[in-house]
Amino acid sequence: MKVFLWSMIQKALPLGEQLQQRGIRADAFCYKCKGVESAMHIFFECPFAKEVWSLVPITQVVHLATCINLKDTIVAFRQVICLPPTGVSNNILPWICWAIWTARNMAIFENRTLSPEEVASKGIRLAREWSYAQPQKQTTGKKVPNPQRRIHDPAESSRVMTCKT
Ligand SMILES: [Zn+2]
């Protein structure tokens, strides 16, 4: 994931814009909307990406007008919290971008298309799996309450009523 994010920022992903600049591809069109396929476009500006982001329950929408480049957008996303009941306490951005990226590759190389709903839920699922796989630790940062991590004391757990919806 770190390599993927690094590749996004360093313009090292094999996207249309980069491939055209290196003379590998004649066009730089986005497979969805025929816009210029840059990292900023495919992950945030493309109508498909916007639809995916609109389906992710986050506290605030990062205003792309204030983010002139990908690095600023990624930094701005550090303030964004993914709301319950997603169970995602970490930064959602890498996972949604990864889901958009794999959906793009699947469409181009395997001719299989995913809906925005499928891409959004895949990104949330991956983020949740990553979140649950991390060792439990006390942090002072702003976190979304995670019901699975809150009850440690067996005596306390007997007094707590769990409501699953
Ligand atoms: Zn597009």
Print pLDDT tens along the chain (165 aa). 778 877 777 777 877 777 767 777 667 788 889 888 888 888 888 999 999 988 888 776 655 545 667 777 777 777 677 777 766 667 788 889 999 999 999 998 899 999 999 999 999 898 888 877 777 665 555 555 555 555 556 666 667 777 777
The reported pLDDT for the residue numbered 33 is: 92
Task: Identify the pLDDT of residue 91.
Answer: 78
Does residue 164 form part of some domain?
A: no
Domain assignment of residue 165, yes or no: no
Cα of 130 from ligand 1 centre, angstroms: 28
Residue 116 lies in a domain: yes
Which residue from 152, 146, 107, 114 is spatially nearest to 130, judged by alpha carbons? Answer: 146
State the distance from the centre of ligand 1 to the C-alpha of 114, rounded, in angstroms.
Answer: 14
Q: Cα of 51 to ligand 1 centre, how many Å?
A: 11
Q: Distances in Å between the alpha carbon of 9 and those of 39, 48, 94, 159?
A: 8, 21, 12, 48
Give pLDDT, residue 142. 58
Residue 105 CA to residue 97 CA, distance in Å, equals 12
**Predicted local confidence at residue 67, as pLDDT:** 60
If you measure from the C-alpha of residue 29 to the centroid of ligand 1, how many angstroms do you get, rounded to a whole number? 8
The pLDDT of residue 144: 59
Measured in Å, residue 75 CA sits from the centre of ligand 1 at 23
pLDDT at site 6: 79
Count structural domains, the chain: 1
- Structural domain containing residue 107: 2-159
C-alpha pair distances (Å), 110 with each of 3, 59, 104, 113, 118: 23, 35, 10, 9, 16
My answer on whether omega of the bond before 85 falls inside 30° of 0, hence cis, is yes
Residue 97 forms part of a structural domain: yes
- Helices 47-54 and 93-109, interaxial angle, to 10°? 140
pLDDT of residue 145: 59
Return the structure tokens found at 50: 């916007």
Determine the residue type at 43: F
Residues at Cβ < 5 Å from ligand 1 ion = 30, 32-33, 35, 46
Instruction: State both tokens at 67.
Output: 């983010």
Q: Is residue 136 part of a domain?
A: yes
Asked, for residue 47, whether it belongs to a domain, the answer is: yes
Alpha carbon 34 to chain centroid distance? 22
Nearest Cα to 124, choosing from 41, 58, 79? 58
